[in-house]
A and B are shown apart, each in its own frame.
Chain A
């Protein structure tokens, strides 16, 4: 079936690293995505990774993919209060629809 799971909540202190985890079920997914949603706002694409990659780095963001375990993580270095938001991982399923996780609320304490 199609199911993407994430932990619901993560609290970190400003300046620390944040790691948000995600597990997915469809081993045939070619692309996996991270989106950010701030209160009252839409979904902002943060980054994505192709399934034949293990890692992708983009400034403060590092995505790690363990295809064997179907595990995806997003690391945010030097987390700032402006990073407080809900983070969704998503896999691109059949027919190219996105299958989203439940979202992880990241709270950054000053």
Chain B
């Protein structure tokens, strides 16, 4: 158990819908990273937040957005969902930006 929690574990929804994925970092960690794992793209970095501020963006679609709240948990919002958004979404956290990243169990999103 890495200490990073993600909810929900599974999510099934329809095209065009909007979902919110939630991540709670390890106690004391200020950084949260989001990654997407899909069959065709592999594991891709989406976005990084540090203490409430966006630090870096990767291959994140404009339909996707994220935020980190004052209690340090983070949410990834996915809207206008398409079949190709079906994937495993992981968040990771670390205590300082150069530290090892510890991953949560992931949220499996299925878009029908």
Q: A residues bordering B, Cβ < 8 Å?
A: 30-31, 33, 35, 41-45, 48, 88, 92, 95-103
B98 contacts A96, C-beta separation under 8 Å: yes
Judging by beta carbons under 8 Å apart, are A100 and B33 in contact? Answer: no
Instruction: Please state if A97 and B106 are interface contacts (CB–CB under 8 Å).
Output: no
What CA separation (Å) do A54 and B105 show in the bound complex?
A: 31
Check if B100 sits within 8 Å of A95, measured CB to CB.
no
Determine the distance from Cα of A47 to Cα of B9 in the docked complex, in whole angstroms. 26
Q: Is the CB of A42 within 8 A of B45?
A: no
**Which of B7-21 touch A at CB < 8 Å?**
none
Most buried by B among A35, A41, A97: A97
24 contacts between A and B (CB under 8 A): A35-B103, A42-B2, A42-B105, A42-B106, A43-B92, A43-B103, A45-B102, A48-B100, A88-B43, A92-B98, A95-B56, A96-B48, A96-B55, A96-B97, A97-B33, A97-B45, A97-B48, A97-B58, A98-B35, A98-B45, A100-B42, A100-B44, A103-B42, A103-B43
A100 and B43 form a contact (CB under 8 A): yes
Given A43-B92, A45-B102: 20 more A-B contacts, CB < 8 Å = A30-B98, A31-B98, A35-B103, A42-B103, A42-B105, A43-B103, A45-B100, A45-B101, A88-B43, A92-B98, A96-B55, A96-B97, A97-B45, A97-B48, A98-B33, A98-B35, A98-B45, A98-B101, A102-B42, A103-B42
Query: Which residues of the other chain, B, contact A96 by a CB distance below 8 angstroms?
Result: 48, 55-56, 97-98
Complex Cα distance A35/B101, Å?
Answer: 10
Assess the A33–B100 pair: CB atoms within 8 A.
yes
Instruction: Give A42's nearest chain B residue, CB to CB.
Output: B105
User: Once the chains are docked, how many angstroms separate the CA of A102 from the CA of B35?
Assistant: 14
A42 engages B90 (CB within 8 Å): yes
* Contact code string B1-39 (vs A, CB < 8 Å = 1, else 0): 010000000000000000000000000000001010000
Residue of B nearest to A97 (CB): B45
Nearest Cβ distance between residue B35 and chain A, in whole angstroms?
8
Residues on A with C-beta less than 8 A from B92 are 43, 98
